[in-house]
């Protein structure tokens, strides 16, 4: 895999696939520019080397040409963040886009119209990928968030560049952060897998066992495990059809010398509601008609101690229904413990959807070693899958 620093971009046109799929408000202003900021180092670097950046990204899920999702809405924000003029091409490919690309000078930036205005993009259509490739001399992929998709601009386009294809800095950082946990994590390595369902996390857990010393299972997944062991779970979320899979997983963890930790006590509620009556119960003695929605105080303490004793921490998925204040304390306590461990020198990677939302919501984001920018891509990497967008960069 080639790193950006190996290329000579001077005077060359560089097609840079980024993930600028940012949220817009009603006035079509960018409300969170995290993703634009995340790709800035790559664009800055190419520009500083005299490269001519042709930025390609999707925005939302347009059905055909949709002015509401035109990238023109974000042109100003991109220019402001890059501190540079950003030209805009209303065409993504074809003569008009080519003319705009060809009129760029060294260090200049062109933003192409939303690549998903073309249905060929998500279909991974070769002709469309070829038309994108026609625009440039080099291809750089810095869109980790879409690296698990075999779309025209994320994957197929790379096949039209023999050797002139590179990982952007963000993509390289994501891969490095994952490897720091999965391949060469310093022991003790702790995985924390929370979230709603066992079914969506089973492959991840299985795949990660080789890398871990300890595994905390939290969130709604817990009750399938407790049910499988004969515990009373009341009306807590459960996937009884995965009972055997859960027991097998416990056996596998044992065989691989991974210590599995489940909560010992939980916060229970008489309703799935922020105003429900709550109480604390042992995890396997949840009364009928009550449901468990968070880790209890003893569990928080035990998990906190485990986190503080770890050198490498991977966290995916909340410990409870953190969206409701009454059931957020387990996730908050865990986030605080991970922050503390990180300050003490542990490497912490937070990734995959809701745990990222949680650490942001609780103001802990800047206290983690690395926060992944790609939910789905992160989950698929953890499942052990090679991401098509990354594979396509191999030469």
Active site residue ranges: 35, 197, 353, 376
**Residue 335 touching ligand AMP (CB under 6 A):** no
User: Which residue of 354, 370, 377, 388 would you call a contact of ligand AMP, by CB under 6 A?
Assistant: 354
Q: How many residues bind ligand AMP (CB under 6 A)?
A: 16
> From the CB of 330, what's the least distance to ligand AMP, in Å?
8
Residue 143 Cα distances to 204, 353, 363, 367, angstroms: 22, 16, 25, 24
- CA-nearest of 66, 78, 79, 72 to 33 is 78
Q: Tell me 385's DSSP state.
A: P
Query: Considering beta carbons, is residue 188 or 297 the nearer one to ligand AMP?
Result: 297
> From the CB of 31, what's the least distance to ligand AMP, in Å?
21
**Residue 323 touching ligand AMP (CB under 6 A):** yes
295, containing H or E segment: strand 291-295
Q: Measured between alpha carbons, how far is 372 from 107 in angstroms, rounded to an integer? A: 28
User: Which residue of 72, 200, 203, 361 would you call a contact of ligand AMP, by CB under 6 A?
Assistant: 200
DSSP 158-175: GGG-SS-EEE-HHHHHHH
> From the CB of 120, what's the least distance to ligand AMP, in Å?
31
Question: Who contacts 333 (Cβ-Cβ below 8 Å, separation ≥6)?
Answer: 295, 300, 303, 304
**Residue 353 touching ligand AMP (CB under 6 A):** yes
Query: Considering beta carbons, is residue 132 or 237 the nearer one to ligand AMP?
Result: 237
**Residue 239 touching ligand AMP (CB under 6 A):** no
Q: Measured between alpha carbons, how far is 240 from 258 in angstroms, rounded to an integer? A: 24
Question: How many C-beta atoms surround the C-beta of residue 326 within 10 A?
Answer: 17
Query: Considering beta carbons, is residue 20 or 329 the nearer one to ligand AMP?
Result: 329
**Residue 237 touching ligand AMP (CB under 6 A):** yes
The residue sitting closest to ligand AMP, measured at its beta carbon, is: 195
Give the residues across from 169 on adjacent strands: none
Query: Considering beta carbons, is residue 124 or 318 the nearer one to ligand AMP?
Result: 318
Residue 393 token pair = 């960069």
Residue 123 Cα distances to 65, 316, 323, angstroms: 16, 30, 35
**Residue 263 touching ligand AMP (CB under 6 A):** no
Q: Measured between alpha carbons, how far is 108 from 116 in angstroms, rounded to an integer? A: 24
Q: Measured between alpha carbons, how far is 267 from 294 in angstroms, rounded to an integer? A: 5
**Residue 296 touching ligand AMP (CB under 6 A):** no
**Residue 195 touching ligand AMP (CB under 6 A):** yes
**Residue 320 touching ligand AMP (CB under 6 A):** yes
**Residue 220 touching ligand AMP (CB under 6 A):** yes
Query: Considering beta carbons, is residue 124 or 352 the nearer one to ligand AMP?
Result: 352
Query: Considering beta carbons, is residue 219 or 389 the nearer one to ligand AMP?
Result: 219
**Residue 164 touching ligand AMP (CB under 6 A):** no
> From the CB of 95, what's the least distance to ligand AMP, in Å?
44
Please check whether residue 162 is in contact with residue 59, taking contact to mean a CB–CB distance below 8 angstroms: no
Q: Measured between alpha carbons, how far is 316 from 141 in angstroms, rounded to an integer? A: 25
Rule CB under 6 A: which of 8-67 touch ligand AMP? none
Radius of gyration of the chain (CA): 23
Per CB under 6 A, residues contacting ligand AMP are: 195-197, 200, 219-220, 237, 292-293, 317-318, 320-321, 323, 353-354
């Amino acid at each position: 895999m080639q790193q950006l620093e190996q290329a000579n971009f001077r005077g060359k046109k560089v097609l840079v696939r980024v993930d600028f799929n940012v949220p817009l408000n009603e006035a079509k202003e960018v409300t969170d520019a995290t993703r634009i900021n995340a790709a800035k180092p790559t664009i800055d670097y190419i520009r500083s080397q005299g490269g001519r950046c042709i930025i390609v990204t999707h925005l939302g899920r347009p059905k055909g040409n949709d002015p509401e999702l035109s990238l023109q809405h974000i042109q100003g924000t991109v220019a402001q963040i890059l501190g540079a003029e950003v030209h805009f091409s209303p065409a993504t490919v074809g003569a008009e886009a080519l003319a705009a690309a060809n009129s760029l000078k060294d260090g200049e930036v062109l933003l192409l119209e939303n690549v998903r205005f073309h249905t060929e993009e998500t279909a991974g259509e070769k002709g469309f990928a070829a038309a994108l490739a026609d625009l440039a001399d080099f291809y750089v992929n810095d869109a980790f968030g879409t690296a698990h998709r075999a779309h025209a601009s994320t994957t197929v386009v790379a096949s039209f560049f023999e050797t002139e294809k590179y990982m952007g800095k963000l993509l390289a950082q994501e891969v490095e952060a994952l490897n720091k946990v999965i391949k060469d994590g310093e022991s003790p390595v702790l995985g924390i897998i929370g979230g709603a369902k066992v079914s969506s996390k089973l492959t991840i857990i299985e795949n990660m066992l080789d890398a871990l010393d300890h595994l905390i299972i939290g969130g709604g997944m817990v009750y399938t495990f407790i049910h499988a062991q004969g515990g009373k779970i009341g009306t807590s979320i459960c996937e009884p059809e995965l009972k055997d899979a859960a027991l097998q997983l416990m056996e596998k963890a044992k065989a691989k010398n991974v210590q599995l930790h489940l909560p010992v006590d939980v916060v229970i509620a008489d309703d799935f509601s922020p105003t429900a009556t709550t109480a604390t119960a042992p995890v396997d003695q949840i009364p009928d008609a009550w449901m468990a929605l968070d880790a209890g105080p003893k569990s928080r303490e035990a998990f906190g101690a485990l986190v503080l004793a770890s050198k490498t921490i991977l966290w995916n998925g909340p410990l409870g229904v953190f969206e409701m204040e009454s059931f957020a304390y387990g996730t908050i306590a865990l986030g605080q413990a991970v922050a503390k461990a990180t300050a003490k020198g542990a490497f912490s990677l937070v990734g995959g959807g809701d745990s990222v939302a949680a650490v942001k919501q609780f103001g802990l984001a800047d206290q983690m070693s690395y926060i992944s920018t790609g939910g789905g891509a992160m989950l698929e990497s953890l499942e052990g899958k090679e991401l098509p967008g990354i594979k396509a960069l191999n030469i």
